[in-house]
Structure 1
């Protein structure tokens, strides 16, 4: 098996300046480290990817131009010479034979759009393991008593570091609307009560007037996962992310980690923000209508400005076994937040249910002493 002429191009600029071995990114900084000679190479401050537009429409055009050219291909490891098939949408992984980094050179590969930015790993593997064990210790009181000890004694599946693709959308929209504003007013009316007494009371009415207008709303940092590898709900729970720590994309940060290209189209990504946008637009219109009550008869929203940032966010992914069942967990490699599944003790849950039922019965008997005495008689 040989790499085809259209195969991905491996980045060959990750060689150590000291011994020539492949460098790995060292989490927590902006350096590449050689595992063989210990040489440290600084990652130069990157410039923005001027060739990749942040304008949404322009980005979509660039994406559509590449849509059919990003296919899997065989690549040759520069360290051991072995040939590896890269799966579709994978832009970095480790060589399965020698564990050297296989990082695509996205500047010279027409099949992939280069990310605008990247959030480098802050937590290394040891930090991630510590975050996981701390999470396990502070789980629900309903976890099995031997869970933490079982995790400590078991061979936890090797933590895998991955950069997962996301879109960050900014937008400004203008919404034209038509509707009605209701203003309360009061009148006095006479009525006869149940005792046949004539009385007066105030009655509220609503005067409606037709209104129309326009509102402008701005949105920033709407984060949409563009990966199919993890449940979107898991990724949502992993946030928030430190946007201030993001840097212009550089392939050096991928070295030693896995990385995916986006699997969600930018159009579908922006559509995923429409629920949030629509809810905020509705609130803006109701405020603009004013009065005591509001009705929206119709509205039309248009994008005045729309930008997208294609970024990679870091996670550690792994799993553990308990009673022959596998439980997966994911760690935010920027903040240490852990999201995962874990077992619950059936005995603790049953005991809690019995205890709660007993307390409820005791409260009922205490507040109704006649119930117990009646049964005794």
Structure 2
């Protein structure tokens, strides 16, 4: 179907990737976002090989390699620094055919914005959708209207367009923990340069991953009640309290964080849902399947959505609605499985059942590294690009 016009609501990872994929297919694309300035939520993201392959398919392989950290190993350590497991990632790369790339979100957003050869219209909050059997119209709070052949709702976990597709409200679920994340300069006294290090204990995590320009993307996970507010003394005081007595590299990391540039996010997920499409409107990314970050698959699944959506539109000539139904059929089971698996892993890691979390700690100390990389490969290879 040539000559189509797509309206994309949301200029995050999913919306921009969809815009690039549809422009690559020859479609006219207009992207809108409600924010006045594009600022990534969170400092970094782990792009596993399935997400990287989508970017390769879009012609961005060189760009993603330039901003991606080289990650050759994973280390799990107990909170006092004792090694639990040392995992060589080479078997994973050999199995799936592509290395993963941890990246700074701002760097990723920059290459996606540069690759999208169109205009991203900011300060446009979509408040209403209308569609006929031939077109769909987005109406914005500022009075602007945009009409096209299809509309992609990629406006995140708090999407106000999800209810239009589902016919009822469907709200995010609190995953039970708060995530602190940011970027710091890489140094050997924090972690080896090409190693993802994860300290675990007390149902918490402290982690560092290499990204480009000699930096580590770090995150801390702390199970907290949803109503728990930030420590008025600041991020460092809060982290020092929660990670008191942890290994020296964790203490150095806390000392080195920039409080003004450290995000504090209450983690939510959303789904599974039973439909992704209504007529000429399709949900994509977090609007359809917000995923706990414990599998590193949130951004990757949005990228897979964009790829499959574009392929369905290109290869189906019956009509837009038929192509979107095909998109739904190809994605619904995949994203539902990832949402469930990520939620189960989040609960296991963060002490929803302390006995289960202790069993995980015990498993880390004895698990064959090939079993770890095999489980990651299984998730990666479940996507559209093998």
Q: Same fold (TM over 0.5)?
A: no
TM class by shorter chain equals under 0.3
Calculate the TM-score normalised by the size of structure 2: 0.22
Question: Which TM-score applies when normalising by structure 1?
Answer: 0.22
Q: Please state which structure has a larger fraction of its residues in strand.
A: 1
Greater Rg by CA: 1
1 or 2, which has the higher helix percentage? 2
